[in-house]
Chains A and B, each alone.
Chain A
Amino acid sequence: MIHTATPICIEKRFDTLRGIISQYHERLTQMEATVVELFATNQLAAISKSIEEKHRIERLVKKLEHFVEHWEEAAEIGID
């Protein structure tokens, strides 16, 4: 998902994570469109699958947000 040629920079780790989160959000909005299509073509099973997928992504996003919040604060605290 991350198209960075350079190795991950440690300073930008939270920005990278935020990028991932926003990509997930985008994915969710895309899924809404696909669900409409699935509905139009009567694919109930696929819809329920995408709902599961949505749940999974939402859980992931929540965890990631929590992670960023928690550790970004801690990152400010240096040894000095």
Chain B
Amino acid sequence: MRRPAYTTLSCIKKVFRPGERSLPRTDIIDRLTDCLPYVSNGQDVEQTLTEILQMPVSPVRVGRTEAIIELLPVSHPVFELAYRYLREIHTPRTIEQILQKLRKNSPLSWNQLTRTLVLEQDPRFVQFEQDQRWYLAEWQVANDHVFAYAARNQMDRIALRSVLPLMEHELKLSSKEYVFVPELDDRFRMEGENLYICIAEDGAAQADSVPVTAQEPAVEQLAQTEVMEAEAQTAAAVTDATATAEAVTVTTEAAETATTPPTTNPAPYPKEDVTMTTMTATQPVNEQVEQLIRQAVSLLETRNQEMQAEVVGHFQQSNMEAIEILMKEKHKNEQAANGLLQVISALEQQ
């Protein structure tokens, strides 16, 4: 299971609390051990520390004695600009994106900027493993909170745009202090406008225990069928419902793994982020449009996969009307997908 994990360099930055410029080596090791689950490789803390100190670009250095480790002073104003920029947009950015932004607002040349703005040196910026983007060290990760909330309320999907309001109003997490990083977390899956939460895996124990207890009495009472049949049926309905719910997540997962590799393979970022960030970049509009349409098509395809699982559920409950409704939806989706594909081919011909 993948969780957002700070890079080792970022770990050492998180160890220094705001205002602290230097720390005894022992304190650092203590605190590093505390956040060890975030240290990616389970190697010795002491060794990690010496490695960090030996790195060519490191935010820390040995102080007056070996026992003191201090943060490097960061003096250049561009760091402050970068810090303010990230703080203002409250979104992680890659160094290229930050440089682009700063280039507009500062008189420095591109070369000067790239040489001076080494965010590795500044304790205010941190990175996660497998993510190029820079985050602010003051931001907290809200993933656990969001996941706990979803598990509590048995939510398996949230619209992406309602995550922020949820964090702010339901979980009382200040949007200035917390960031939500679903794309580095295997418990969350982004698909188009929706965020899927895989409660099935973590909550498997809970989810399973409910139908089991419901089933057991049903098994016992099998001897006296007539009276207890109704109960058994409801129990079966419960298991069916959970089974289909799980099946849905499983199939969508499968569908995702099946569909994403060919289309958007090297995209560790969420699709939404792609649209948001590349929009501002220099990509020509028609390419963006094509990309968006392709996203829409893949969205429709995954929905079709979901529907197959739903059909089985409705079939088990003999719900013909629901199947008819699904069929209509499928028809519509197919027409939409066809139309979109035509648009794409028209775009490609131009």
B80 on the A face (CB < 8 A): no
Interface contact A48-B330, CB-CB below 8 Å: no
Residues of A within 8 A of B7 (CB): none
Alpha-carbon separation in the docked complex, A44 to B322 (Å): 12
A21 on the B face (CB < 8 A): no
A18 on the B face (CB < 8 A): no
Nearest-neighbor residue (CB-CB) of A32 within chain B = B312
Residues of B within 8 A of A39 (CB): 307-308, 311, 323, 326-327, 330
Instruction: Choose one: A54, A65, A69; the contact of B318 (CB below 8 Å).
Output: A54
Interface contact A44-B323, CB-CB below 8 Å: yes
Query: B-facing mask of A7-28, CB < 8 A → 1, else 0?
Result: 0000000000000000000000
Alpha-carbon separation in the docked complex, A66 to B312 (Å): 27
Number of residues from B at the complex interface, CB < 8 A:
16
Nearest-neighbor residue (CB-CB) of A40 within chain B = B308
The majority secondary structure among interface residues of chain A is helix
Query: A-facing mask of B308-327, CB < 8 A → 1, else 0?
Result: 10011001101010011011
Chain A nearest Cβ from B320, distance in angstroms: 6
Interface residues in B295-350 by Cβ distance below 8 A to A read 307-308, 311-312, 315-316, 318, 320, 323-324, 326-327, 330-331
Residues of B within 8 A of A48 (CB): 320
Instruction: Choose one: B223, B312, B320; the contact of A51 (CB below 8 Å).
Output: B320
Query: B-facing mask of A56-80, CB < 8 A → 1, else 0?
Result: 0000000001100100000000000
Interface contact A69-B225, CB-CB below 8 Å: yes
Alpha-carbon separation in the docked complex, A13 to B99 (Å): 82
Residues of A within 8 A of B225 (CB): 65-66, 69
Chain A nearest Cβ from B210, distance in angstroms: 23
Interface contact A35-B223, CB-CB below 8 Å: no
Chain B nearest Cβ from A48, distance in angstroms: 6
Residues of A within 8 A of B315 (CB): 31-32, 35, 47, 50-51, 54
Alpha-carbon separation in the docked complex, A66 to B228 (Å): 13
Alpha-carbon separation in the docked complex, A42 to B335 (Å): 13
Alpha-carbon separation in the docked complex, A32 to B312 (Å): 6
Chain A nearest Cβ from B285, distance in angstroms: 36
Interface contact A47-B312, CB-CB below 8 Å: no
Nearest-neighbor residue (CB-CB) of B304 within chain A = A40
Residues of B within 8 A of A47 (CB): 315, 320, 323
Alpha-carbon separation in the docked complex, A69 to B225 (Å): 10
Query: A-facing mask of B120-155, CB < 8 A → 1, else 0?
Result: 000000000000000000000000000000000000
Chain A nearest Cβ from B329, distance in angstroms: 11
CB-CB under 8 A for A44 and B311, given A32-B316, A54-B318: no
Residues of A within 8 A of B324 (CB): 44
Chain A nearest Cβ from B216, distance in angstroms: 19
Alpha-carbon separation in the docked complex, A44 to B328 (Å): 10
Interface contact A36-B308, CB-CB below 8 Å: yes
Which residues in B have some Cβ–Cβ distance to A below 8 Å? 223, 225, 307-308, 311-312, 315-316, 318, 320, 323-324, 326-327, 330-331
The 7 A-B residue pairs whose C-beta atoms are closest, nearest first, are A39-B311, A35-B315, A32-B312, A36-B308, A51-B318, A48-B320, A44-B327
- Can you name 17 extra interface pairs (CB under 8 A) apart from A47-B323, A51-B320? A31-B315, A32-B312, A32-B315, A35-B315, A36-B311, A39-B308, A39-B330, A40-B308, A42-B327, A44-B324, A47-B320, A51-B318, A54-B315, A55-B318, A65-B225, A69-B223, A69-B225
29 intermolecular pairs with C-beta atoms under 8 Å apart: A32-B312, A32-B316, A35-B315, A36-B308, A36-B311, A36-B312, A39-B307, A39-B308, A39-B311, A39-B323, A39-B326, A39-B327, A40-B308, A42-B327, A42-B331, A44-B323, A44-B327, A47-B315, A47-B320, A47-B323, A48-B320, A50-B315, A51-B315, A51-B318, A51-B320, A65-B225, A66-B225, A69-B223, A69-B225
